[in-house]
Chains A and B, each alone.
Chain A
């Protein structure tokens, strides 16, 4: 009879293959980007290194989210499942939702039933079906959008290119509003993040360029603290 350790091992192998593929894709994009940069002298080597540092530092704050939701996911499934689903296509929160639906459909209760290789197999299928459209969407839509905004002979930004940032702001305001009205903690957390970002970017504007890499981390932690204090003291 198959054991969970065998199933976990098999899934680890596939997790490494799938995550390896995301590295291949990123490598292809980065290679083209660097070739483009070399040809056009957009960024210097130091600026590129600074960009990588900014990316790595900025990833810390959202990474905290991954840690805690990833832990929750691992506690009800396996380490290999968590690694695969949080490293390719899925996101910890989304995977938790998919698992909840999958349990209901198959009549499985993971709180009461021990994980078996068959249940794990079912969850692997469920997560694949649960997010396949995320991956296929960009295949059909991104190219037409970009081609619509392409004006190869003119250096003036196209109508679409000028209009999109304005539309994005409208959509972001809508999403922010949605978050703002969800509850006290959420509203204060959003406000804390906004005000902290305002202060940090004002300081950056006044010459404190070193804060650029830290802006997201500072804003996020301030937002969380303000939100939690509001929940605690304004209850």
Chain B
């Protein structure tokens, strides 16, 4: 049935009309589906624990320990968690964030895949085309991740025995390699496929991000929120810059 839906050609693609349709129809749909499913997902998360504790009676660990853990973890991580996705919004857009945060592993799995798909689409991530690519990409990872998890479940114990220690050590470096890739790909995207051009047009924002990093890391109260502070500070600077560019164009 879905095959019938997608059986179209891209020959008649009209970018301007598509962007308008995206803002008028698809964007509101994203923000209708997203919040409802996220709230249901958040509530569903507690159902297994409640069922096991109160129905099955597996309650040797006192409920006060559960409350103590909640009281410890929510203030410690809550604010960071509540705002973390804002860092990824400019890199994957709204539908990718909604799916990525419900399915988990957003930064290490969904983000690189969404970026790869957006790059393959040849458009900006926050455009209609980019969002279509990111949505398809993130949805694909949900299926592929479950397949990987099933393989771990079935072959996990066997794999633990045969994998050499140096391979396990090497895999600890995977996140760093992915971030090297991500920065390069973003430069490629900024330069419309030309990395050198992307670097020439972006070095100022890169330097600004690193400079703000030193500033916010030096302020103890903001150190834990440095990434968000850097994003917001760079955003303010970028808005001012764009306004100046608009004025120049108008003049």
Contacts and interface: CB of A to CB of B under 8 A. Distances in A.
B73 interface: yes
B174 A71 contact: no
A59 interface: yes
Interface residues of A, number: 164
A169 interface: yes
Interface string A44-68: 1101101110111011111111111
Given A32-B26, A174-B210, A120 B52 contact: yes
B73 A98 contact: yes
A220 B199 CA distance: 21
Contacts of B179: 172, 175-176, 179, 190, 193
A121 B133 CA distance: 39
Size class of the contact patch on chain B = 35 or more
B224 interface: no
A47 to B, nearest CB: 6
Contacts, number: 587
Contacts of B121: 43, 51
B102 A105 contact: no
Interface string A69-99: 0110011000100111111111111000010
A70 B2 contact: no
Contacts of A192: 177, 180
B149 A146 contact: no
B49 A91 contact: no
Contacts of B233: 170
Contacts of A173: 183, 205-207, 209-210
Nearest to B27: A146
Contact of B239 (A85, A102, A160, A177): A160
A63 B42 contact: no
Contacts of B56: 2, 7, 10, 117, 121
B144 A125 contact: no
B120 to A, nearest CB: 5
A29 B5 CA distance: 14
A126 B18 CA distance: 44
B238 A67 contact: no
B89 A42 contact: no
A165 B89 contact: no
A111 interface: no
A59 B45 contact: no
Interface in A17-35: 17-19, 21-35
A228 B166 contact: yes
B101 A55 contact: no
A78 to B, nearest CB: 10
Nearest to A14: B48
A14 B51 contact: yes
B44 A36 contact: no
A50 B74 CA distance: 42
B97 A33 contact: no
18 contacts: A28-B33, A42-B10, A44-B8, A51-B121, A58-B112, A67-B148, A71-B152, A71-B160, A82-B149, A116-B58, A125-B66, A133-B77, A134-B101, A137-B101, A175-B227, A194-B180, A223-B174, A224-B173
Given A41-B10, A136-B42, 13 more contacts: A10-B52, A29-B98, A55-B136, A58-B117, A61-B178, A79-B153, A116-B58, A129-B74, A138-B85, A167-B90, A168-B90, A197-B188, A198-B195
> 5 nearest interchain CB pairs?
A223-B177, A193-B180, A170-B209, A55-B140, A170-B234
